[in-house]
Amino acid sequence: MDIQFIQFNDTIPFSGVSLIEGFMPVSIRITGPDLTSAISVRVNEAVSPSFVVANATTILAQVPSSELARVISSVVVVSSEFNAKVSSVLEFSLGPNPKTVTGVQALIQSYLKMLLTTPGQDAFAPSIGGGVQKMIGGNFGSEALKGLVAAFALAIGRTTEQFIALQSRQRRTSGSELLLNTQLLGTNFDVANTAMSIRMQMSTQSGITAITNLEL
């Protein structure tokens, strides 16, 4: 039984964002074709403390206090839905009501846990782990970024080999939870926020393809 410690959601596409002049607290207006499934709004990655879905095409969201003095460079509207496509986002959190996960969500969660694990941390399997967690918080110059991307690619390759080998010894795992292969689709380094974003594709033995986005 796998307890869910990663929250899976899609982001909602929208067409426009504007500051609501003269409104207090400082807020933005978000417009799009269908915003009804919104459960959260993030401004510069900070969660809006309050938002209202005014109608199907409009959201009014308060700008977080931490972002009032900053230029708004990104806005994300998170949906209650999850389809494991390009617009999906993952967040490490137990949530208010922890539950179990199965299928491709269980696969993604277990894989990412192994990818982040530092080899040597597990006394029963000291060689297991992609080692990505130890890269978090490091200082990297512009010349080191290429090496960092290469290190991520190697970590994903190592984790995939270990994960498939481990699953080959499991007898009762469904096809939707069995990993076939992974592919690193792209990486992006945000200099302003010193964050690395990774987009990867995971394919299961039952033919399901999932795209995950991980920001470190």
Binned average pLDDT, 10 residues per bin, the chain of 216 residues? 63 92 94 91 91 95 94 88 60 64 85 89 85 71 69 91 92 87 79 67 88 73
8 A C-beta contact, residue 167 and residue 176: no
8 A C-beta contact, residue 47 and residue 64: yes
- Select 102-215's CATH number: 3.40.1800, 3.10.450, 3.90.1010, 1.10.3470: 3.10.450
Q: Label residue 56 exposed, middle or buried (CB < 10 Å: 0-12, 13-18, 19+).
A: exposed
Amino acid at 25: P
Q: What is the pLDDT of residue 197?
A: 72
Distance between CA 102 and CA 21 in Å, rounded? 46
pLDDT tens, position by position, 79-101 = 876 655 555 666 666 555 667 77
Tokens read off for 19: 């500051």
What pTM does this model have? 0.64
pLDDT tens, position by position, 188-206 = 766 555 566 777 888 999 9
Residue 154, φ and ψ in degrees, nearest 5: -65, -40
Q: What is the pLDDT of residue 56?
A: 94
76's enclosing H/E stretch is: strand 75-79
Write out the residue limits of the CATH 3.10.450 domain(s) in the chain. 102-215
Q: What is the pLDDT of residue 100?
A: 77
Q: What is the pLDDT of residue 83?
A: 58
Tokens read off for 119: 């080899």
Distance between CA 49 and CA 47 in Å, rounded? 6
Distance between CA 81 and CA 61 in Å, rounded? 20
Q: What is the pLDDT of residue 201?
A: 85
